[in-house]
Amino acid sequence: MEAVEKKRKQKVAGNRILLKEEAANRVASWAGQVQAQLRGTRVGRNEIVNWLVLGHEPKLSSRELKDVEDTYYDEVKFASWALRQLKQARDQGRPISLTELLAIPDSSDVSKSLAD
């Protein structure tokens, strides 16, 4: 029985997302607003987050991707990614220059470009 309980906890832990304090407060506020204003409707924070995520288009728009980039882009992380790509290309016997790597329009295309 302990093994089953442990397995359940591990599975649940993989789905948890840590929200910043401000985001958590907004979600809690929205859940409270629903409960206060909609009779017969009871939702928790998880339901609010799921409703918001599932109500969004499956793919992010160009504007949203740009907003994410503006907010979270890190030059050091980019340089580390580029170094890994350059090493991978070299190890595969398909050396690529940094200039060529930067010319690839989508990071998901790197492995395809290296395979060509």
Same domain assignment for residues 46 and 34 = yes
pLDDT the model gives residue 14: 64
**Among candidates 52, 102, 48, which has minimal Cα distance to 75?**
102
Q: Average the pLDDT over 69-79 and give the result.
A: 93
Same domain assignment for residues 13 and 30 = yes
Q: How many domains does the chain have?
A: 2
User: pLDDT digit string (tens) for 22-60?
Assistant: 999 999 999 999 999 999 998 999 999 999 999 999 999
CA angle 62, 71, 113 (to 5 degrees): 55
Q: What rounded mean pLDDT belongs to the chain?
A: 85
Same domain assignment for residues 71 and 115 = yes
Same domain assignment for residues 90 and 39 = no
Range of the domain at 9: 1-56
